[in-house]
Amino acid sequence: MSTHEELMGERRKKRDALVAAGMDPYTATSNATHTNVVVSEQFATFVASAEVVTLVGRIMALRLHGALAFADVFDGTARVQVMFTKEHIGDVPFDLFVNNIDVGDFIEATGTAFITKRETQAIQASSWRILTKSLAPMPVEHFGIAGEDMRYRKRYLDLLLDDEAREMFVKKAKFWAVTRKFMVDHGFLEVETPTIEVTTGGAEARPFATHHNDFDMEVFMRICIGELWQKRLMSAGYPKTFEIGRAYRNEGTSPEHLQEFTNLEFYWAYADYTMGMTFVRDLYRTIAQEVFGTTKFAARGHSFDLNDEWIEIDYVSEVEKQTGINIITASDEEMKAKLQELQVKYDGANRERLTDTLWKYCRKNIAGPAFLINHPKLVAPLAKTRSGTETVEMFQPIIAGSEVGRGYSELNDPDDQRARFQAQKKLLDAGDDEAMMADWEFVEMLEHGMPPTCGFGFGERLFAFLEGKPLRETQLFPLMKPKLEGEEVEE
């Protein structure tokens, strides 16, 4: 069996032969008259009219039969079979094709549509030329690329050989397009907010830090999509805003978490969390129907229908029902003992981390659709307190045992917000690097006044859940550790 280097050497010789024959193996333009999908869908019309067409694309399969050659050509829209014969293109062009063209090459072929003796559709080529000579051989299409590492490193080949994977990213683009249209149709203004910040407000997560050379100061990549900035826009008089963009969290990787991801966040003045729940339910149902063609899904061992009633689950009551622990009244030691009994690992020993870990143990048993409500105040530093309680006006959609979004009636009391930031600062000073940074300029904005507001955000994890794939699988180019020099990764 020839080595990879030997196969590339053979292809280089073929490239040189094409050059010697007067062909440019890396052309700048093509002369395509139609896309392949148009020819394929209107094939009978092209046969009847005998119209001459010029098609382009990559050769995905090549079959040689003496004085005949068949190539399956893919241009990104569809595959079309092209037939080459000495009779129609001449001896020299035919021999040049047969001797020097390989699977993976990009070609241009001109000819007419006809039905072969085996009653298959084909283009009878009258001429051809090379567009791009492929030097590296492609994996065998039937088997694709083995191994997750190689599929992600050579995603271009993975998508080329896997129609289902390629279609998934078309669907993902539609997912965000439907989301954007829904927001715009409901009167929300799309905005852009900073991705580099002095403080990373809006969420509790470990940020990526870098240095701003011009200002000579440390800055951070944002961990959410402009929450504190969009609230400033509520104060500025905009009634509805939203942003779709990238967020960055310097945390661990799991089937549900990555360090870089796309999120939507919206802010709605003069609305509260109950209005937000109705709006989000309708948004999720619209996404499901328009992108996936159904509201019924199965994921992570759960089945759910987004058209069912969305039940409301009380955070404190649910944890107590499943674990026997009342997270408002229990001591830290009681919470730690319960987690040890349940054999649940947790990072950090402050009360916020213990509370959150107990909830995460419980959530995996909930199929949804549901809204988790009435969160303890300490896990939601930016949400408005429910009168007379230690809980807040917050909601999270729950499907397949996990949260797929977060929203609340936004806290607009500057004194309360200052106190909560001070509490978060104590956690940071004590070593909790996921606690929220204080933004005192945001508090100053609240002192000027911000109207009652509902805010909500969700990320591409929702798409992954509905698609039934790990989050990493649904990103085009997930981050990979670079290979060491000389290191090989088996295909």
Amino acid symbol at 297: F
Residue-wise pLDDT tens digits, 122-147: 999 999 999 999 999 988 765 667 77
Strand partners, 261: 247
Give mean pLDDT, residues 307-311.
97
pLDDT at 199: 82
Please give, one letter per residue, the 3-state secondary structure of the chain. CCCHHHHHHHHHHHHHHHHHCCCCCECCCCCCCCCHHHHHHCHHHHHHHCCCEEEEEEEEEEEEECCEEEEEEECCCCEEEEEEEHHHHCHHHHHHHHHHCCCCCEEEEEEEEEECCCCCEEEEEEEEEEEECCCCCCCCCCCCCCCHHHHHHCHHHHHHHCHHHHHHHHHHHHHHHHHHHHHHHCCCEECCCCCEECCCCCCCCCCCEEEECCCCEEEEECCCCCHHHHHHHHHHCCCEEEEEEEEECCCCCECCECCEEEEEEEEEECCCHHHHHHHHHHHHHHHHHHHHCCCEEEECCEEEECCCCCEEEEHHHHHHHHHCCCCCCCCHHHHHHHHHHCCCCCCCCCHHHHHHHHHHHHHCCCCCCEEEECCEHHHCCCECECCCCCEECEEEEEECCEECCEEEEECCCHHHHHHHHHHHHHHHHCCCCCCCCCCHHHHHHHHHCCCCEEEEEEECHHHHHHHCCCHHHHCCCCCCCCCCCCCCCCC
pLDDT at 390: 87
Give mean pLDDT, residues 4-13.
94
- Lowest model confidence (mean pLDDT) among 137-141, 308-312, 340-344: 137-141
Residue-wise pLDDT tens digits, 149-159: 888 889 999 99
Structure tokens at 407: 């929203």
Pairing between strand 296-299 and 209-212?
Answer: unpaired
Give mean pLDDT, residues 316-333.
94
* pLDDT band for position 374 (cuts 50, 70, 90): very high
**Percentage of the chain with pLDDT > 90?**
77
pLDDT at 8: 95
Q: Which residues contact 454 (CB under 8 A, 6 or more apart)?
A: 267, 268, 271, 272, 273, 275, 276, 407, 408, 409, 410
Closest CA to 98 of 204, 27, 17, 219: 17
pLDDT at 211 exceeding the cut of 90: yes
- Lowest model confidence (mean pLDDT) among 350-359, 398-407, 452-461: 350-359
pLDDT at 400 exceeding the cut of 60: yes
pLDDT at 148: 80
Structure tokens at 386: 């429910």
- Lowest model confidence (mean pLDDT) among 311-325, 391-405, 425-439: 425-439
Give mean pLDDT, residues 44-57.
97
Q: How far apart are CA 139 and CA 490, in angstroms?
A: 12
Give mean pLDDT, residues 24-47.
97
What domains appear along the chain, each with residue ranges and CATH number? 4-138 (2.40.50.140), 160-187+266-310+368-474 (3.30.930.10)
Task: Confirm if 105 and 132 have CB atoms less than 8 A apart.
Answer: yes
Query: What's the whole-number average pLDDT of the chain?
Result: 92
Closest CA to 172 of 462, 477, 480: 462
pLDDT at 127: 97
- Lowest model confidence (mean pLDDT) among 43-57, 105-119, 340-354, 359-373: 340-354
Give mean pLDDT, residues 282-286.
98
pLDDT at 437: 79
* pLDDT band for position 278 (cuts 50, 70, 90): very high
pLDDT at 485 exceeding the cut of 70: no
- Unique residue bearing structure tokens 């659709």: 369
pLDDT at 491: 44
CA distances in angstroms from 193 to 90, 246, 412, listed in the order given: 61, 11, 20
* pLDDT band for position 421 (cuts 50, 70, 90): confident
pLDDT at 261 exceeding the cut of 60: yes
pLDDT at 377: 87
* pLDDT band for position 490 (cuts 50, 70, 90): very low
Give mean pLDDT, residues 389-399.
94
pLDDT at 108 exceeding the cut of 90: yes
Q: How far apart are CA 302 and CA 365, in angstroms?
A: 9
- Unique residue bearing structure tokens 């104590």: 426
Q: How far apart are CA 6 and CA 10, in angstroms?
A: 6
